Chains A and B, each alone.
Chain A
Amino acid sequence: MYDFEYHKPGSLADAVKLLSADPDARPISGGQTLLPALKHRLNKPTSVVDLSGIAELRGIKREGNKLVIGALAKHVEVATSPEVKAAIPALAQMAGTIGDTQVRNRGTIGGSVANNDPAADYPSAVLGLNATIVTDKRRIAADDFFQGMFTTALEPGELLVAIEFPIPEKAGYAKMRNPASRYVMAGAFVAKTGGAVRVAINGAGPGVFRQTEMEKALTANWSPDAVAGVKQDADGLNSDIHGSAEYRAHLVTVMAKRAVANAG
């Protein structure tokens, strides 16, 4: 790892100031993605801005028909939060399967969503639940936020502050984990919110995406059988030593079926 300066601002305004003063500064939350990347010398920040002291990024609360989760909420907090378990049990269940105990004790929802790893879990919940990403500058709809592999609508220096999840009638998640890395090979998050059905697929493609044919099938008939007949096109899906695009395409249908069954 190259050396860098370390800052720990006490407010969002101070963090934004530090990041806008230096284009090579990088925010750090749980560090469970950034530190491994820095060890690989994948990038060379001049300074690292630790967000963990910023109260505005904390908290999990229900506001009417929304669940608002602060960027600094750790995976373990989301997994065990009574508010999350009551409002969106599928989200708590997902958080409890991210990485391992120690990763969940440090990693945050803000870091995961800002990073947008194609094999990450949270992006499919954010897209499937039609959540809104709140930053220090604006509000971004999930459909506009994720822009392909490790790319989001966040501008350099823009900070993810919170994520607002509309509370669904039903939601479910299922994933196939890579047996070695335990990251997602293919996952599906299905949700029915205000009568509208969304299906988000993670792991299989270069970024999280909506499976609109499955959305139509589930709108007509909410049941695992309804998605069983929908084949995912393998074109454009990831192909690597862990699995071919065809294999992942097959997994998409299987995971979608399981996700609907999990949603009940």
Chain B
Amino acid sequence: MPQVTLTVNGKTSTVDVEGRTLLVELLREKLRLTGTHVGCDTSQCGACVVHVDGESVKACTILALQANGSQVTTIEGLAKPDGTLHPMQEAFREYHALQCGFCTPGMVMSAIDLVQKHPDGMSEKEIREGLEGNLCRCTGYHNIVKAIAAAQEVMHGRAQSLAPAAE
């Protein structure tokens, strides 16, 4: 049986897989990292987004074997060991950017990649376009966009702490 060795959230594992095993199956079923969700399994919804070597990808549309040797970050890898949330997670909480929460892990992972790729900051329109690959059935997106706009200020060091959401 083929084997995949990859580093997930800083921890290196070697796992037996089939040729057809998807990265998301490896994460959820072999490594028990079930924070990464499967919404559609047809590459549309973005619930499964993780970072592979720093790029956001749909983990349902990459074979585990294609990720061999790579560095993977999932939603479980964002908070500090003491439980301090990543600024993006904190912003999603502060801005009420989730309702059922199903899309949230993928949204947060996509959002972090977007912010990192736009060091000069994004307009509301750019944030909305950047989230094209992530579907949310609950929120109507407004609060997600606000959360990302606030988080980018903290992530780029332009604000010390997150601007509070309006009452």
Contact = CB atoms under 8 A, between A and B. Distances in A.
Given A4-B20, A102-B58, A106-B61, A32 B110 contact: no
Contacts of B66: 28, 31, 50, 52
Determine the interface band of chain B, counting residues with CB < 8 A from chain A.
Answer: 20 to 34
A106 B62 contact: yes
A39 B63 contact: no
B148 interface: no
Nearest to A74: B55
B63 A35 contact: yes
Nearest to A52: B66
A105 interface: yes
Interface string A25-45: 000100110011011000000
B113 interface: yes
A54 to B, nearest CB: 14
Name, among A8, A32, A35, A36, the residue most crowded by chain B CB atoms within 10 Å (CB to CB). Answer: A35
A3 B20 contact: yes
Interface string A70-96: 000000100000000000000000000
Interface majority SS on A: helix, strand, loop or mixed?
mixed
Interface in A96-142: 99-103, 105-106
B27 to A, nearest CB: 15
Contacts of B152: none
B57 A105 contact: yes
B18 interface: yes
Given A28-B63, A105-B57, 10 more contacts: A2-B20, A8-B68, A31-B66, A35-B62, A52-B66, A100-B133, A101-B56, A101-B114, A102-B58, A106-B57
A6 interface: yes
Interface residues of A, number: 27
Contacts of B61: 31-32, 35-36, 102, 106
B49 A102 contact: yes
B144 interface: no
Contact of B43 (A2, A6, A76, A103): A103
Interface in B1-41: 2, 18-20, 22, 41
A105 B56 contact: yes
Which 9 A-B pairs have CB atoms at the shortest separation, nearest pair first?
A: A100-B133, A100-B132, A6-B19, A105-B55, A4-B19, A1-B20, A6-B65, A102-B133, A3-B20
